A and B are shown apart, each in its own frame.
Chain A
Amino acid sequence: MSVGAQDPSVSSFYVNDSFYGDLIARFQDWDHDRHGICDPVERDGFRLLLEREARFLDQHKYDDWLAMLTRECVYWAPARPGGGDPRTEIAVMFDDRRRLEDRVFRLRSEFAWSQAPASRTVRMISNVEVFEYGEMDRRMLRSNFIINEFWDNEIRQLVGWCGYDMQNIDGRWLIRAKQINLINCDRCIRNPSIIL
């Protein structure tokens, strides 16, 4: 629980012990068929949401992208398959709201040499599945991705799948947590400096 009315863009009170506990519990053992939602309308709604997210990132519309996440969000790319425990293991990335805004700030500074010139990306999203999670205002999503990244005169692919913890707030679905599982997350990666 966050303490008082602290702004998560400025200070990080919400990344506390119970936050980690919930996060780990949520991303354990969740994508079971028995929780799957087959309704094509609902599924298409989420597919659209993920496609829009991919477009915002491809177009570097970072403010629009940040607005797709809850205030107290997390963006987590584990450093080993299966996720591991971010409390006792290093992750490739583990950003709260402020650190995501840091990331965007850095990319917008003119001095992020790893992104000067910036990568051009085209993201492909597929295999979108929707799962029930607890209350009606919560869902878990799973999608596969290929990020085609053009940088330093080469096109390479970053490949993996994402898990999303979604919450409906005032009729809008927002991303509470995005777990990015690169299939080579436990190997050396050249210039991992774009937002995944």
Chain B
Amino acid sequence: MSHDWEGLVQEDRVHRALYTDPAIFNAEMTKIFGGTWVYIAHESEIPNVNDYVTRKLGLRPVIVLRDSNNILRVLYNRCTHRGTTLCRHEKGNARAFQCPYHGWNFLNSGKLRGVPWADGYSADIKDEKFNLAQAPRVESYRGFIFATLNLEAPILLNWLGPMTKPIDEWLDRNPGGKIVVCEANRFKYKGNWKLAYDNSSDGYHVIYSHRSLLEMENRLSDAANKGMAYYKNSPDSLAMYVQYMGNGHHFKDKRPNLQARPGGLWAIESTHPGKEYAEAEFRRKYGERADSLLDLAGSEPVNINIFPNLSLLGNHIQVFQPISVNETDAVWYGTRIEDVNGDIGDALGTINALRMRTQEGFPNFGEVDDLANFEQIQVGLQCEEDEWIYMNRGHGIPDRIKTNADGTITAPATDEVFMREYIKEWKRLMKGPTPLSIKREP
């Protein structure tokens, strides 16, 4: 199969086929969700030796684990005998996985430990071809575990490039620079996975797609400045911005809109269960420190979007999981904090409880509306003669978009420059040869 990639991805528009063609989707599962680094799990989900979670790398079922020697591995969840999945649980702790079909038994290094009635084999059952396949490269950046099947991909740190700065800042605002994943708001939508990635830095949709949320959040206050209300008037003239960071990554930074002081974040936090209790309690007990404690429960106004499937926003770790050309799972993992330095003390419980409630707000009252819009894009794109999707906001306006010394590109918050740029990286990966490989324990 070959596509006219230059024709499909143009300067200011892309062809509907990117979202509707099953052949393109299949190629993406190889070339993108195999050929580049893909986020696969967070280390806090598998903190102990032998802990595992089951996930997907593209469409490949995998077991992400910390093996008996404390090595992070992404094993194919596929028995080397006749192909069944070995592990059917979401998470657990196991030194070995025994196949439920004929009982082949694998260590969590992927090595075949034994088979029932081994004397029935003339083949050498110790041959490495019987060990489980696994991703040849697994790397972690500050707890975020990525995998790729591409031996020629740059090391993770270089691939993240300037993205490490917003990631570091996102982590370092928490005690000890540490967060712990703690359940999730989990969504499914009938649409292509890129609809979610297209949305991740989209500052243009906020006041329309999220109008019900913005009105809801501000229904009780006259000031009407909670949540994302700063998008209301002239968002492009505000200090917030969108930045293309290379390798398909992009970053929406709304922090410059805040008052630069402890409590500046909390000041725009909308209403949540327990909010007034925590505020009153912290001010009474902790005085001056109350503001910075409350900020820990507040929703950090950034969107850190790591191509192709990860988005850090608010306090969430959002992951896009393609299912088919027109079906995607979007999981909003919550995060809590720990009192790493021992200076939070008995405020920790209240902060985390409030942090859970602030995190449930947007998925419940905002994301559902975006997802409805994604689904309706997929429906609209069935108009096959109307071929183009425009992402031309900000395009061709002199002095609107700046290329920085480090090669990143900065633009006003509602610009679609991030889409125009990331899709070039998508095109590069789709066009190129993809030397994928797996490895097995020797």
Contact = CB atoms under 8 A, between A and B. Distances in A.
Interface in A128-153: 152
Contacts of B372: 113-114, 116, 191
Interface string A14-33: 11110110000000000000
A80 B90 CA distance: 12
Interface residues of B, number: 51
Contact of A16 (B185, B274, B357): B274
Chain A contact surface mostly:
loop
Interface centre among A11, A15, A186, by most chain B C-beta atoms within 10 angstroms, is: A15
B421 interface: no
B360 to A, nearest CB: 6
A96 B211 CA distance: 22
Contacts of B368: 112, 114, 191-193
A87 B401 CA distance: 44
B350 A15 contact: no
A34 interface: no
Contacts, number: 145
Contact of A93 (B216, B350, B360, B375): B360
B58 to A, nearest CB: 17
Interface string B236-280: 000000000000000000000000000000000001111111001
Interface centre among B190, B276, B280, by most chain A C-beta atoms within 10 angstroms, is: B276
Interface string A174-196: 00000000000011111111000
Nearest to B274: A15
Interface string A114-131: 101000000000000000
Given A89-B334, A191-B368, A109 B280 contact: no
A88 B371 contact: no
B212 A90 contact: no
A90 B184 contact: yes
Interface string A73-103: 0100001100010111111111110110011
11 contacts: A79-B183, A87-B349, A89-B182, A98-B273, A105-B215, A106-B213, A106-B365, A109-B215, A188-B329, A190-B190, A191-B368
Interface of A: 3, 6, 10-17, 19-20, 74, 79-80, 84, 86-96, 98-99, 102-103, 105-106, 109, 111-114, 116, 152, 186-193
Given A11-B275, A12-B271, A114-B371, 13 more contacts: A12-B276, A13-B277, A14-B277, A16-B277, A74-B273, A84-B183, A87-B356, A88-B352, A89-B183, A90-B182, A102-B271, A113-B209, A191-B368
